[in-house]
Structure 1
Amino acid sequence: MSAVDSVGPEAVPQLQAQVEQIIAEAKKQGASACEVAVSVEQGLSTSVRQGEVETVEFNRDQGFGITLYVGQRKGSASTSASGDAAIRETVAAALAIAKHASEDEAAGLADAALMARELPQLDLYHAWAISPEQAIEQALRCEAAAFAADQRIKNADGTTLNTHQGCRVYGNSHGFVAGYASTRHSLSCVMIAEDGGQMQRDYWYDVNRQGELLADAAGIGQRAAQRAVSRLGARPVPTCEVPVLFSAELATGLFGHFLAAISGGNLY
């Protein structure tokens, strides 16, 4: 499995070829069925605190994971290594696990008839040509706006700008192979408010597929400051039965717990 130069849509054909190579190796070694996910990712992360740059990090990762079956026995393995030897060794490792696993009548791939036939283009990939210097400038501007928003903002707990892009391809022994490229850009700010001996911390952020469409850095900092200050002076209330309103960011977590509870794996 050779290294992939790009992490954009142009990487999909090369990753599809790698998936097909891994599936062929799994069949060669004796797997009755298998599924493979190959990915390549890269990103930039910059963090500032108290007007100083804390971190500037670049990352680039490539690897694959395979789940294969020997009848109703299942084994999984993954690697970040590349090359034909890595494929053979990772498939062999998954196969060894499967041969020692207990049989499970529910194990296996979804029926071939359930594989997707039409794959919509979801416009998920928007690379952002932002330099480390520009990322640092945005993060510093965000934090500065937070400090200026209220005199009770006494400290910062980190402002971070992240930009990430990657490509992922999935395939299985039913003949299904497909992939997509995607991007994710974010700016977050965490501030600490202090008044009357009480300290409170809160945050705000924005996330977007397109970096140019992120909310204004100063606005994110101001919102983080306002949320931190709003926590000051909190007091307990007597036990009672009342309607409860969940803010949007908490409501998503509430639904997340519900979706996890009804997921097939957890029910099984």
Structure 2
Amino acid sequence: MSAVESVGPQALPALQEQVEQIIAEAKRQGASACEVAVSLEQGLSTSVRQREVETVEFNRDQGFGITLYVGQRKGSASTSASGPEAIRETVAAALAIAKHTSEDEASGLADAALMAKDLQDFDLFHEWDITPEQAIEMALSCEAAAFDTDSRIKNADGTTLSTHQGCRVYGNSHGFIGGYA
């Protein structure tokens, strides 16, 4: 995936900024509280069958979801679109839902005092920089190894090699924001 920018820790500041923009928009539109999760993911998948390449797929997805509150009324919406218009529309959709739900006195964010303060880095991101050609070669090699174990093996359901990376940021109107890759 070296031809495409990596989805790793370096993407976190931009996602944190997006979370802050979404929270600000929710407040601007009248939400009394909200929580937002933004994600960015990408992956490569190759499959071979009978010593032939069947598929090579690349995916890159981004999106966000918001749950907001108007008093004790709750609404949620999500989108895979990005940009200011998508933020405005998704917040407006969640707000419209919240305005039509019943009040629930148990609904809302956890108390602000319960929010984590010192977030640890768990060293979760371990990039595997592999090209589609390398992935195909590895999958073909694995399938060949299966065929080589016994001459009676004439057919196989195929071999798939997939790699995936992503990052996620969560924030809420209490001022908490944190993420990982």
Is this a same-fold pair by TM over 0.5? yes
- Larger displacement relative to structure 2 (102-111 or 124-133): 102-111
Alignment map for 1:199-218 (pairs within 5 Å):
none
Q: Does 1:42 align with 2:42?
A: yes
Q: Secondary structure at the match of 1:78?
A: strand
Structure 1 residue 6 displacement after superposition: 5.2
Structure 1 residue 104 displacement after superposition: 2.2
Mapped to 1, the partners of 2:154 and 2:107 lie a distance apart of 55
Aligned residue for 2:155? 155
Q: Output the amino acid matched with 2:18.
A: Q
Unpaired stretches in structure 1, ≥5 consecutive residues:
182-268
Aligned residue for 1:25? 25
Mapped to 2, the partners of 1:51 and 1:102 lie a distance apart of 59
Structure 1 residue 131 displacement after superposition: 1.0
Aligned residue for 1:56? 56
- 1:155–1:103 CA distance, 2 compared to 1 (3 A): farther
Mapped to 2, the partners of 1:153 and 1:173 lie a distance apart of 59
* Higher helix residue share: 1
Aligned residue for 1:119? 119
Q: Once superposed, which parts of structure 1, at least 4 consecutive aligned residues long, lie more than 4 Å away?
A: none
Aligned residue for 1:10? 10
Q: Output the amino acid matched with 1:172.
A: N
Task: Return the structure number with greater relative CO, CA threshold 8 A, min gap 6.
Answer: 2
Q: Secondary structure at the match of 1:155?
A: coil
Structure 1 residue 151 displacement after superposition: 4.5
Aligned residue for 2:105? 105
Unpaired stretches in structure 2, ≥5 consecutive residues:
none
Report which of the two structures shows the higher radius of gyration computed on alpha carbons. Answer: 1
Q: Output the amino acid matched with 1:49.
A: R
Mapped to 2, the partners of 1:105 and 1:140 lie a distance apart of 58
Mapped to 1, the partners of 2:72 and 2:149 lie a distance apart of 61
Mapped to 1, the partners of 2:33 and 2:10 lie a distance apart of 28
Q: Output the amino acid matched with 1:161.
A: L
- 1:6–1:14 CA distance, 2 compared to 1 (3 A): farther
Aligned residue for 2:89? 89
Structure 1 residue 107 displacement after superposition: 1.7
TM-score between the two structures when normalised by the length of structure 2: 0.92
Mapped to 1, the partners of 2:6 and 2:67 lie a distance apart of 26
- How many percent of aligned residue pairs carry the same amino acid? 84
